[in-house]
Chain A
Amino acid sequence: MSLDSVPGAPVRESEFQRFANLTWTLAITEWRLRFYGSVLGVAWTLLRPFAFFGVIYVVFAKIAKVGEGVVNYPAYILLSLILFGFFGEVTGGCVGALVQRENLLRKMRFPRLVIPVSVAVTALLNLGMALIAGVIFLVALGVTPDWGWLQLIPMVVLLLIFSLGVGLLLSALFVRFRDIQPIWEVVSQMLFYASPILYVATLVPPDYLRPYLANPIASILTQMRHAIMDPNAAGAAEAIGGAPRLLIPLGIVFGTFALGWWVFNREAPRVAENL
């Protein structure tokens, strides 16, 4: 039985409009609340990746000297951190999202998808701010902007689809299995090191490079290095050994999203009672 399809029930606003309204309201409220009462306010969004960047830069570029010979290595670390931070925020935020919004879920009828999507929208707002600051920083570091930078847009879109797919899966599973949270913390940590953030993909031994780049985040960051930091560095297609092979990470992105979508929608009607 679906109440939304009851004949003779005119809808106040289209379903999509209601979805968009709710998502945006939740996202913006969450975004504002995060910095509620803090002195630096929104600046905290930036402080985190930049402070992290500072530490990593000193350790990896100056002490361990991992990035020797890598063009614009500091800029690469910063942007990778920002992008991975986005992935971490969406997935980490989605895990407990349904349980935190228990009050809404139990008291109101609305598309359950609103909740994970609003988490992603909040993260997008933060990403936008961080990217603006990041770009300024990049220019200050001496990276020259060019049209290649626009590739950031499809990269962010792919990353969004991937993280939302994972997020949908995690949030639906968390309702049933509460240890998803610590498990995901570990997996997320592993992904951090399995992605070229502190180092670059070309440092990975050639034998392992292709399976390594099956990780969509690794492919995205490798392509980013080619598009923004160093046109001479191998792009994702070149590193994985031909553009057709990119279908593997792409397949993982869309496959994950499809799986997350399916599991979430399967669980959604009973989420309120399983909480």
Chain B
Amino acid sequence: MTVVATGEDSETQRSQQLQTAPAAVSVRGLRKSFRIPHHTYSTLKERVLHPFAARTFEELKAVDDVSFEVARGEFFGIVGRNGSGKSTLLKLLAGIYETDEGEVTIDGRLSPFIELGVGFNPDLAARDNVAINAIMLGLTRKQASERFDDILKFAELEEFIDLKLKNYSSGMSVRLAFSVAIEVDADVLLVDEVLAVGDAAFQHKCFEEFQRMKDEGRTLILVTHDMGAVQRFCDRAMLIERGRVVEIGDPERVARAYNEINFGRLVYDVEDGPRYGDHVAAEIVDAWFENEVGQRLNAQLQGDPLTFAMAVRFNEDLEDPIFAVTLRNSKRHAIFGTSSAAFHGPSGAFKSGQIAEVKISMQNLFAADSFTATPSIAHSGTGQSAIDVREDMARVIIHSTKYTGGVIDLPHEYTIERR
């Protein structure tokens, strides 16, 4: 990690500059809808056989009255769930789709492509693919051959230049595509989902390249699911949902809104996981997360108090049952686990018919993600004889304003000494 002493200052300076910069892309009242027919007559035969069949269709408003401006030199993120209309919007900007209503004004040269590696052919050698791709992206033959060496050097694939593309790993071919794309002479670049390119070292180069583009005052509009990338690169971002702008502005705020839409839905949609144990002697009847005043939570900001709670009903008298919970992140990694036997000691006696609430409050260091809790009760002893295990019974989303790539964010300190 590099520490720039004047980081804060240059940030504010930049945002001031962007506020006064003229608009490179200006979109006003943009609309686009697709007609989804109830019956598709995609052949002449069907059209002839059903000449008077009512051609009913549903109108899908993919982009519905969208307006925004992107300043010259700004990096602008467009985020949204699948089917939210973000790719359609990008295609409208690129001129690939025709607009129904509204205006798109682009000041400057617009890159003609929205994806890397357009026209790549697996049966041709990388050398040929670079040449073809460069011409597709708008370079002339002369420019393409002049920049050929730079492209290969950047991609670090000089040795593999005569290898057919189908023998490339996916990482290698994306590297090649990225290296061609940065050679394109465009003032406004439109990019759909590309940032995770290659290995760590190459990613670093890509980030530097983005920085260089920023310094050159190029405008970039990026469509992605990757909130980390948005927070890292974008000056501003926009969240769209069902074709409408939900949130626009500060990337952190947009990322949080995105997480709410995205995971917020999961909380209600996803069912509990499997249940183990005979749950005769006792059963877990409820589990949830709550804050410091006992309000149930679907989401919590990193660092704010977080408590896991479960309600247990006893059907028999039990001595020192063991309560435990495991928290998993969205990738199903167990991030945290605890049991009363190890961290609390004997839990005491419970009577048949009694209901107990067990609460575990924890330090909330979790990285931004969706977490599930799997509570369990076991007979006293080793904890091996489980009475009831309820997988993924409770969920919580953790927001964070920073993207670190870790699963938890440990408190840490920097020391920088100049010698």
State how many angstroms separate the Cβ of A242 from the closest Cβ of chain B: 39
Q: Is B319 an interface residue (CB 8 A)?
A: no
Residues of B contacting A13 with CB < 8 Å?
Answer: 138, 140
Known A-B contacts A18-B138, A25-B132; the reply to A109 vs B94 at CB < 8 A is: yes
Q: Is the CB of B108 within 8 A of A29?
A: no
Residues of A contacting B98 with CB < 8 Å?
Answer: 1, 269-270, 273
Q: What secondary structure prevails in chain B residues at the interface with A?
A: loop
Q: Is the CB of B44 within 8 A of A179?
A: yes
- B37-85 interface (Cβ within 8 A of A): 42-45, 47
A273, B91: Cα distance in complex, Å:
10
Task: Digitize A189-221: 1 where CB-to-B-CB distance is under 8 Å, 0 elsewhere.
Answer: 000000000000000000000000000000000
Picked from B110, B124, B132, the residue with its CB within 8 Å of the CB of A9 is: B110
- Which residue among A2, A9, A17, A269 has the maximum number of chain B CB atoms within 10 Å of its CB? A9
Residues of A contacting B103 with CB < 8 Å?
Answer: 1
A6, B93: Cα distance in complex, Å:
12
Q: Is the CB of B140 within 8 A of A108?
A: no
In chain A, what residue has the closest Cβ to B117? Answer: A107
Task: Digitize A144-159: 1 where CB-to-B-CB distance is under 8 Å, 0 elsewhere.
Answer: 0000000000000000
Picked from A2, A103, A104, A106, the residue with its CB within 8 Å of the CB of B91 is: A106
Residues of A contacting B45 with CB < 8 Å?
Answer: 179
Task: Digitize B101-113: 1 where CB-to-A-CB distance is under 8 Å, 0 elsewhere.
Answer: 0011111111011
Q: Is B121 an interface residue (CB 8 A)?
A: yes
Q: Is the CB of A109 within 8 A of B112?
A: yes
Task: Digitize A65-107: 1 where CB-to-B-CB distance is under 8 Å, 0 elsewhere.
Answer: 0000000000000000000000000000000000000011111
A31, B118: Cα distance in complex, Å:
19
Known A-B contacts A3-B104, A33-B121, A273-B97; the reply to A10 vs B109 at CB < 8 A is: yes
Q: Is the CB of A104 within 8 A of B123?
A: no
Residues of A contacting B34 with CB < 8 Å?
Answer: 273
Q: Is the CB of B108 within 8 A of A109?
A: no
Q: Is B96 an interface residue (CB 8 A)?
A: yes
Residues of A contacting B141 with CB < 8 Å?
Answer: 21
State how many angstroms separate the Cβ of B120 from the closest Cβ of chain A: 9
Residues of B contacting A11 with CB < 8 Å?
Answer: 109
A37, B113: Cα distance in complex, Å:
30
Q: Is A180 an interface residue (CB 8 A)?
A: yes
Residues of B contacting A55 with CB < 8 Å?
Answer: none
Q: Is B339 an interface residue (CB 8 A)?
A: no
Q: Is the CB of A177 within 8 A of B94?
A: no
Task: Digitize B139-157: 1 where CB-to-A-CB distance is under 8 Å, 0 elsewhere.
Answer: 1110000000000000000
Q: Is the CB of B96 within 8 A of A109?
A: yes
Q: Is the CB of A9 within 8 A of B106?
A: yes
Q: Is B135 an interface residue (CB 8 A)?
A: yes
Picked from B47, B115, B123, B138, the residue with its CB within 8 Å of the CB of A33 is: B123
Q: Is the CB of B121 within 8 A of A1?
A: no
In chain B, what residue has the closest Cβ to A272? Answer: B96
Number of A-B contacts (CB under 8 A): 102
Residues of A contacting B128 with CB < 8 Å?
Answer: 29
In chain B, what residue has the closest Cβ to A25? Answer: B135
- A1-25 interface (Cβ within 8 A of B): 1-4, 6, 8-13, 17-18, 21-22, 25
Residues of A contacting B113 with CB < 8 Å?
Answer: 107-109
Q: Is the CB of B43 within 8 A of A179?
A: yes
Known A-B contacts A104-B118, A273-B34; the reply to A177 vs B109 at CB < 8 A is: no
- Which residue among A8, A11, A25, A180 has the maximum number of chain B CB atoms within 10 Å of its CB? A25
A272, B140: Cα distance in complex, Å:
25
Known A-B contacts A9-B106, A22-B135, A178-B43; the reply to A1 vs B99 at CB < 8 A is: yes
Residues of B contacting A33 with CB < 8 Å?
Answer: 121, 123-124
Q: Is B278 an interface residue (CB 8 A)?
A: no
Residues of B contacting A29 with CB < 8 Å?
Answer: 121, 124, 128, 132
State how many angstroms separate the Cβ of B11 from the closest Cβ of chain A: 30
Q: Is B95 an interface residue (CB 8 A)?
A: yes
State how many angstroms separate the Cβ of B408 from the closest Cβ of chain A: 39
State how many angstroms separate the Cβ of B365 from the closest Cβ of chain A: 42
In chain B, what residue has the closest Cβ to A17? Answer: B140
Q: Is the CB of B114 within 8 A of A176?
A: no
Picked from A18, A108, A176, A178, the residue with its CB within 8 Å of the CB of B96 is: A108
Q: Is the CB of B107 within 8 A of A8?
A: yes
Q: Is B119 an interface residue (CB 8 A)?
A: yes
Please list 24 pairs of residues, one from A and one from B, whose beta carbons are closer than 8 Å in the complex, sorted by A's number.
A1-B98, A1-B103, A4-B95, A6-B105, A8-B107, A9-B107, A9-B108, A11-B109, A18-B138, A21-B135, A22-B136, A29-B124, A104-B118, A107-B96, A107-B113, A107-B114, A108-B118, A109-B112, A110-B112, A177-B42, A183-B44, A270-B97, A273-B34, A273-B97
Instruction: Name B's A-contacting residues (CB within 8 A).
Output: 34, 42-45, 47, 91, 94-99, 103-110, 112-115, 118-119, 121, 123-124, 128, 132, 135-136, 138-141, 185
**Apart from the given pairs A1-B98, A4-B95, 7 other A-B contacts in the complex at a CB distance below 8 Å:** A3-B95, A25-B135, A33-B124, A36-B124, A177-B43, A177-B47, A269-B98
Question: What 5 A-B pairs are tightest by C-beta distance, nearest first?
Answer: A3-B95, A179-B43, A109-B95, A269-B98, A109-B112
